[in-house]
Amino acid sequence: MTAAVTVRGLRKEYPGHVAVDGLDLDIHRGEVFALLGPNGAGKTTTVEILEGHRDRTAGDALVLGEDPRKAGRAWRAKLGIVLQTANDAAELTVAETVRHFARYYGDARDPDEVIEKVGLTAKAKSRVKTLSGGQRRRVDVALGIIGRPELLFLDEPTTGFDPEARRQFWGLISGLAAEGTTILLTTHYLDEAEALADRVAVIARGRIVAEGTPQNLGGREKAEAVVSWVEAGVPHSEHTNFPTKLINQLSAGGRELAELTVTRPSLEDIYLDLIGERA
Ligand SMILES: Nc1ncnc2c1ncn2[C@@H]1O[C@H](COP(=O)(O)OP(=O)(O)OP(=O)(O)O)[C@@H](O)[C@H]1O
């Protein structure tokens, strides 16, 4: 598999502050990669450097085979970018806005199809400034994908979405991934990373502290299960690698175990451990 993004020793210093501190990253073509991390960890700074919107202090970066510091218009046309800050609400309608952006690309998608993909067909004739926050975010996503990007950057794309809109959006992203679009997603929603990402990296204080699939991040797949039950009104719980065996022993002779549950750490548990913020 060829690389979509290769980063080595990336560093970004602001006056008196190191935002990115020696970061390495490999994103393969065709994968959905999620960058997770607390506020101020350095996610947006990293993504902006990769998009060519911000200079770096040190390190190497290749995005679709080119250094974003030097790459030109042809390279830029292969990127789709959905920034954290939504576009200013314009006087134009949704359809006018999407059609306007489509003209910038030689091989743009059909604007009406894109509007449908992001679930805004019913609002196509509404002015963008009259839309809700979540609906405006969908316009941003429409503009991010109108040029058929090879690599799509999504910085916290579903902030402000209601649960139904998030599910629809996940379907949209899965569809783009299935068509072969490489996607770099930053998000604070761990369920979103779990639903969408082939691989995730956790960034804290400007460094990658863990990387893996949502299923094996931080040793998650090897973590012990916790078996909990209630006996004579007293809650019990035991950690074990063999929950079935334990339950068989506990329930020998047909004994009923009240409120029996078997749990393994969620992606959120692992994440909070990794960034050192678990209570
Ligand atoms: N233009 C700037 N000048 C000075 N410091 C900055 C600038 N932009 C970002 N920073 C600092 O760099 C650090 C990393 O910021 P960044 O926006 O990359 O974090 P983030 O992981 O994207 O956070 P969030 O989840 O809140 O979006 C923060 O401490 C931030 O205050």
Count CB atoms within 10 A of the CB of residue 56: 23
Q: Residue with the nearest Cα to atom 6 of ligand 1?
A: 14
The finding on whether 53 has its CB within 6 A of some atom of ligand 1 is: no
The predicted pLDDT at position 232 comes to: 85
Q: Are strands 79-82 and 32-36 parallel, antiparallel or unpaired?
A: unpaired
For the stretch 232-279, pLDDT in tens is: 889 999 999 899 999 999 888 888 889 999 998 888 888 998 888 654
Q: Which of 39, 159, 192 to mutate to test the pocket of ligand 1 (most atoms within 8 A of CB)?
A: 39
Of all residues in the chain, the percent with pLDDT exceeding 70 is 97
Res. 82: pLDDT tops 90: no
For residue 145, pLDDT beyond 60: yes
pLDDT of residue 277: 64
Distance CA 46, CA 68 (A): 12
| pLDDT score of 6 more than 90 | yes
The mean pLDDT of the chain is 90
Q: What is the predicted pLDDT for the residue at 132?
A: 85
* Ligand 1 atom 3: residue of nearest CA: 14
In whole angstroms, give the CA distance from residue 210 to residue 133: 33
Record the tokens describing residue 53, joined without a space: 């919107």
Determine contact, residues 189/158, Cβ cutoff 8 Å: yes
E-state strands within the chain = 3-14, 17-28, 32-36, 58-63, 79-82, 151-155, 182-186, 199-204, 207-212, 225-231, 234-240, 258-263
Sign, Cα dihedral of 34, 37, 42, 45: positive
Among 226, 217, 169, smallest CA distance to 194 is for 217
Residue nearest (by alpha carbon) to ligand 1 atom 31: 40
Q: What is the pLDDT of residues 92-111, one digit of tens each?
A: 999 999 999 999 888 899 99
